[in-house]
Structures are given as C-alpha cells and as structure tokens.
Amino acid sequence: MSSKFAHNIVHKKKTYLIVIFLITTMSYGQTTKYNQYWGEMQFNRTISEKWSAELDLATSYSSTASSPNIFEKNTQRSFRGWGHYYLSPRWKLSSFIGYFSNKDVPEIGQFESPEWRFALQAIYYFHKTGYTLSTRMRTELRHMKNEDDTYENVIRYRQQIKYIQPINSKFLRKGVIYAIASDEIFLKSETKVTGLSFFDRNRLNIGAGYLFTDDIQVEITYANEYLPRDNNNQIVNAASLTITFNNLFKNLEKKFLHKPEEKHDE
C-alpha cells in the first residue's frame, strides 16, 4: 500500500469523524430541555359488574428558558370522561371524550391550541403471581386549532407496556406500596399543528404508588419524554402526581349519611 493511498484513507476517516461529530453536536444543540409537573385526579364509579365510568381532571406546568421553576407557567388543563367495559379478566375496553386547553406559552414555543379529543383504547393484562404486566393500545382523534386559527384533525396511535410490582404484598390492596415502570411510543399523522414527523414522542415512566384504602391510591412517578420536532427537538423531565378515588361519593354517602339501625328493647 502506497503512502499516498494510506494518507487518503486516514484523511477520509478523519473527515467522517468530523462530520459525525458536527451532526451530533448540531442535534444536541437543537434539543431543548424542560422540567415540568403533571398533576391528575381520577374519579372512578362502578356501574355494574361489566361497566364503570371515570372522570379525569388534569393540569401541567413547565419551566422556561429563563426559569428552572417547574411551576413557572401553566401549559395545559384538561378533563376527560371515560367509559370502561371489562370484556374478560384479561381484556379491558375503554373510550373517552375530553377537552384540552393548551395555553399560549411562547417561552416554550407553545401557542394557544384548544383541543377536543376522542379515543378508543384496549388493555390486555398478563396476570402473574407477584406482579402485573399489561400492554395498552390507544387510537386518538384530536381536533386541534393551529396557528392560523383553523382546526385540524390529527390521528395519533399510542402503544404502551406497563409493569406493576407490589412491594410489601403479593396483591394490590390497602396498605400496599408498589413500583411502576412503563414505556410508551406515540405515532401520529402529519399535520401543520403537530408537525411533519410521523414519530410523535417516547415516554418513559418510573415511580411508585400507595393504596391508602382499597378505593384511594396515590402514584408519584418520574417521566422522561423525547419529542422530535421540525425545528427544535425537546426533552421533558416531569414529576407526575396522580390521585385516584374509586366510588368516592358512594363511599362518603355510606360513611356520613347511613344511619345505624335503632335497637329496640324486647
């Protein structure tokens, strides 16, 4: 091998390394990171052996480029009404309609985009002794306002896998602490309001929950989201708090309005 040929190979390798370095640096430089808080309250009501209803109220806050405070700006408020049908011990079918108020927050590149959302969902449970593994499939129709003040329809598909591990018991019940881990990918149609990328985001959740009673539980998780966008990719680190009440008003009625039967002397 001639010295000139060897020199050309070395030069090309250096060129490739420089190009790879520049691409990596540019990708990192175009990625913006935000710290956020997501809060949600869920109210579930049993209707029959097969059916239940649910109301979700949620809000989210975000830091900005000028402030690391996760409560600096309120970015979204929402409510969703659910219907759940328990097809079998392994299959749960659901649907919801909800309204999402996406706030005008220029500091994080978000414009005001109110949204109505309709979804169909199916969850399959792999019941195992000592832990639960499930996979969730959800298709969403999002009717969103874009920057031109016109509404667009966005189709989004979400696929999640979730693992729940009780810590101090084999089953989820009152007084049990449990660990949670999940990962979810989001795929969407190409529109002006959400961008041209087919891959919407990836969301990783890790955390724990506690059941105060069989009908009241709290979950605290850390969420990491990667969002590829046309002009500026985003990474979101979020602290998430979810409080769930099952049959809340029915239980309160039993506790405060139920009158004990009077005892009669015989």
Q: Identify the three-state secondary structure at position 176.
A: coil
Q: What is the pTM of this model?
A: 0.81
Q: What is the pLDDT of residue 250?
A: 72
pLDDT at 261: 53
Which residues are bridge partners to 152 per DSSP?
144
What local confidence, expressed as pLDDT, does residue 256 receive? 72
Write down the domain spans for the chain.
Answer: 36-257
User: What is the fold, at CATH topology level, of the domain defined by 36-257?
Assistant: Porin (2.40.160)
Contact 59, 39 (CB under 8 A): yes
Written in H, E and C, the secondary structure of 200-254 is EEEEEEEEEEEECCCCEEEEEEEEEEEECCCCCEEEEEEEEEEEEEECHHHHHHH
Q: State residue 260's pLDDT score.
A: 53
Kindly state the average pLDDT of the residues 142-154. 90
Specify the pLDDT at position 228: 86
* Model confidence pLDDT, tens digit, residues 238-263: 999 999 999 876 776 666 776 555 55
Kindly report, residue by residue over 196-252, the tens digit of the pLDDT: 778 999 999 999 999 999 899 999 999 999 988 777 788 999 999 999 999 876 776
